[in-house]
A and B are shown apart, each in its own frame.
Chain A
Amino acid sequence: EVQLLDSGGGLVQPGGSLRLSCTASGFTFSIYAMSWVRQAPGKGLEWASLISDGGDSTYYADSVKGRFTISRDNSKNTLFLQMNSLRAEDTAVYYCAKIRDVSRWRIDAFDIWGQGTMVTVSS
């Protein structure tokens, strides 16, 4: 079964750091680009970051650029999101998502989603 399992969320103070993980199974993780998408409580979806299959290209939304770092370990089928200098407005459920098409990885759909992990930034 194709599956993504998000973990690492929790309560953190403003200015603090947190590292999210996403473990993949049921597909060849190393050939697909991956993304993080977040959803603030009661709000809509917001794309946060994208990483290429090999990890050499990364992209960020302006709202997280310079504070968040996306990375991956293909030997362990795992995607990461290092979040630094966290703010109250970063409070959200964070989903990892697989990009559907290997050749259109910059612009294609998110076809598999993790269950999400909640990040709460509060003092």
Chain B
Amino acid sequence: QSVLTQPPSVSGAPGQRVTISCTGSRSNIGAGYDVQWYQQLPGTAPKLLIYGNSNRPSGVPDRFSGSKSGTSASLAITGLQAEDEADYYCQSYDTSLSGSVFGGGTKLTVL
């Protein structure tokens, strides 16, 4: 069981907006540590999508946005495209474990 909790799957039609939640606790997200989001296309390495809760690395489309509140964070994807179909992971730091922690991952299906 992962320290950060994500829904196993979400889906949406092309052009729609979807959100993926990431729930932590007072030892990680709730302690003020930043949340990152990664996209993993089938058979490839993860790619950094959002860092510092809401910042996009150069080259990431502004269709992807992140937010954080309390012990939770969310990734929103607007204008859904077929190439967005992938696994998405949230990540933060946990002070009790003295290391990084990941969510279990969410599979996004574009209908």
Q: Which residues of A contact B (CB under 8 A)?
A: 35, 37, 44-47, 50, 59-62, 95, 100, 106-111, 113-116
Complex partner residue of A109 from B51, B98, B99, B104, CB under 8 angstroms: B51
Establish whether residues B91 and A110, one from each chain, have CB atoms under 8 Å apart when the complex forms.
Answer: yes
A44-B104 contact, Cβ under 8 Å, with A100-B51, A111-B57: yes
B45 to chain A, nearest CB (A): 4
Chain B residues near A116: list those with CB within 8 A. 45
A113 to chain B, nearest CB (A): 4
Establish whether residues A95 and B45, one from each chain, have CB atoms under 8 Å apart when the complex forms.
Answer: yes
Specify the chain A residue showing the minimal Cβ separation from B35: A109
Other A-B pairs, 20, CB within 8 Å; known A44-B89, A45-B38, A61-B99: A35-B100, A37-B46, A44-B103, A45-B91, A45-B105, A46-B102, A47-B102, A95-B45, A107-B34, A107-B100, A109-B36, A109-B48, A109-B51, A109-B52, A110-B36, A110-B38, A110-B91, A111-B48, A111-B57, A113-B45
A50-B103 contact, Cβ under 8 Å, with A107-B93, A109-B48, A109-B52: no
B35 to chain A, nearest CB (A): 9
| Interface residue tally on B, bucketed by range | 20 to 34
Chain B residues near A44: list those with CB within 8 A. 2, 89, 102-105
A interface footprint on B71-111 (CB within 8 Å = 1, 0 otherwise):
00000000000000000010101000111111111000000
Chain A residues near B97: list those with CB within 8 A. 61-62
Chain B residues near A110: list those with CB within 8 A. 36, 38, 46, 48, 91, 100
Chain A residues near B99: list those with CB within 8 A. 47, 50, 59-61
Establish whether residues A106 and B93, one from each chain, have CB atoms under 8 Å apart when the complex forms.
Answer: yes
Specify the chain A residue showing the minimal Cβ separation from B36: A109
Cα(A100)–Cα(B98), bound, Å: 18
Specify the chain B residue showing the minimal Cβ separation from A47: B100
